[in-house]
Amino acid sequence: MDSPRVQGAAGFFSGPVELLEFVLPLAAAQVLGATPAQTGALLAVQFLVSLLTRPVAGVHVDRAGSERGTLLLAAAGAGCGALSFVLYTAATTLPPAFAAAGLGGLGGAYFWVAIRAHIASRIGSGDDRFAALMESESSGAWIAFLTGIPLFQIAGASAMFLTCAASCLVAGVLLAFTALTGTDRLTGTARLTGTDRLVARPFTQVEARSLLRSLRGILALTGVVAFAEGIVSLLLILHLIERLGFDLGAIALVYLPGAIVLSIAPRPLHRLVRRVPPHRILLLGLGCSAVFAAALVTRPGPVSLAVLWILSALCFSLLVPLLERLVAEVSGEHAGRGFGWYQSADLLGSAAGALAAGLLFGAGLWEVATIGAGLLLVVSGILGRRSLRSFAAVAETSELTLATPHSAGGPPPDRTPSEHHEHGKGLTSAMKRTATTLAVHVGIYLLAQVVFAFLGASWPWEVITGNTTPATILTWNSEGTQVQRWIGSVSRIWTIVVLVDILWSGYRMIVPKDKSDRTEE
């Protein structure tokens, strides 16, 4: 695994960014008195800056020449994100808000391109690193939703923006500390050499065009899939708002189960299908996603939508790490440029899909939009499999490498001697990391429950004091004010998540892993 600090930084940065996209329209209307057109312009500015900056960020990441330089660029991106939220806090008119939007787009571009390039430089045999990154991003997102939306409703937009700024600042500090010290104290091993696989050398226009040609199949597939997913995602939100009359908190609760799945499913799914050729994974993922799109034709209720969104989350858990791993393999030492183009294609497809969904929904063409998105996903899978067939041999070669026994003269190359001996006695480094992660999750949960209890809406506290029974954990909270009802429901869902997390972490610590799993640690 990569440094837990790098993975943690991804979660601390991802949460505020995802939360901002969700609440910015409401915050802009409440605080700035912005019209829908002005709110759309705010979102457009952040999108355009991020889109145009990502290829430039990729060039700068490649020129950094070392993992240390790459992590410092990511830390600078996190700092820009923190400053962006501070500007949102201070904004009382539209110009500072537009400046904050532009700065947020700039920070996000440098942060995500640099983080992915850093992971690509270490991909080696442990090619579930992008799945681990996806888990960290998703964990940060749903924790931000659970804490940020109640904070927004209780204390207002400024308190939420300041909390988001602090979270981005934590991400930047974690990355800067990792880059400057070069040691991961949680694992006790040196992780940064200053050169590693990121090599700064002249990159000619001919080489750039050659790399772009090599990536064009993946980039085209990424853009088309993002377009279809953008249609489905916006249609889902519009359906919840226009047809079912859901408010912000209720919409977040529909999305929450899928977000939790995204935070735990990528690595187990990766290990389940890692010996399956990439083009077959693509067909499976896009086929399931097409089923989700087609199911929206029936205009299902909130419970059915939550279940369908879980299906969509499983699809993302298969597809996103696969595409990112392939970009890393093709880009090689120029992963910065590769991920700059990849993320630009993803952003452009998502924006085009959202625009198309809005137009089709406004024209009353719901069935056309959902069926069209499903068909587009199926066609993308059929055509895209031809682009990915060439990677099947690479995947098989990688699996043969994983399955080859290591020499008896020393430990596996991905583990230090101390880790080698730990497998015979005591806790391994992987067990310690699992225990540490679980402790962090439980600590955050307990802190949140203290806050919820102060607001009179903590389900565990209600059980302890005898005001309710454990059987009510699967019911929706219907007592108190609107905020208390929402927080009480969040408290119950979060309790279920923590219980599942404890069981899963215990399983990972108790059940021995095979050799192929150990090489990925």
**pLDDT tens digit sequence for 320-346:** 888 888 888 888 778 888 888 888 888
CA dist list (Å): 505 to 124, 139, 497? 25, 15, 12
pTM of structure: 0.72
Tell me which DSSP letter residue 407 carries: P
| pLDDT above 70: residue 400 | no
Higher per-residue pLDDT: 67 or 407:
67
Partner residues linked to 190 by β-bridges: 183
pLDDT confidence of residue 99: 92
Higher per-residue pLDDT: 279 or 439:
439
Confidence of residue 419 (pLDDT cuts 50, 70, 90): very low
* Torsion 380-395-71-267 (CA) sign: positive
**What percent of the chain is predicted at pLDDT more than 70?**
77
pLDDT confidence of residue 248: 65
Least confident of 46-55, 270-279, 282-291: 270-279
Least confident of 113-127, 374-388, 400-414: 400-414
Taking the C-alpha atoms of residue 443 and residue 432, their distance in angstroms, rounded to an integer, is: 16
Confidence of residue 87 (pLDDT cuts 50, 70, 90): very high
Partner residues linked to 189 by β-bridges: 184
| pLDDT above 80: residue 69 | yes
pLDDT confidence of residue 203: 62
Q: How confident is the model over 237-248, as a mean pLDDT? A: 70
| pLDDT above 60: residue 1 | no
pLDDT confidence of residue 107: 92
The token pair that represents 31 in the structure block: 């605080």
Higher per-residue pLDDT: 400 or 205:
205
Least confident of 117-131, 200-214, 272-286, 382-396: 382-396
| pLDDT above 90: residue 164 | yes
**What percent of the chain is predicted at pLDDT more than 90?**
10
Maximum C-alpha span of the chain: 72
- Sequence-ordered alpha helix ranges (H) in 389-481: 392-403, 417-422, 429-454, 459-464
DSSP E strands in 312-370: the ranges are: none
Taking the C-alpha atoms of residue 114 and residue 69, their distance in angstroms, rounded to an integer, is: 9
Taking the C-alpha atoms of residue 308 and residue 498, their distance in angstroms, rounded to an integer, is: 22
Higher per-residue pLDDT: 382 or 343:
343
Taking the C-alpha atoms of residue 406 and residue 38, their distance in angstroms, rounded to an integer, is: 60
CA neighbor of 236 nearest in space, from 176, 322, 295? 295
Q: How confident is the model over 194-218, as a mean pLDDT? A: 65
| pLDDT above 60: residue 412 | no
| pLDDT above 90: residue 111 | yes
Count of H-run helices and E-run strands, the chain: 19, 2
Confidence of residue 162 (pLDDT cuts 50, 70, 90): very high
pLDDT confidence of residue 297: 75
- Contact (CB, 8 A) for 189 and 117: no
Query: H or E element: which one contains 190?
Result: strand 189-190
Query: H or E element: which one contains 105?
Result: helix 94-120
Rg value, the chain, Cα = 23
Q: How confident is the model over 292-301, as a mean pLDDT? A: 74
- How deeply is 517 buried, as exposed, middle or buried, from its count of CB atoms within 10 A (0-12, 13-18, 19+)? middle
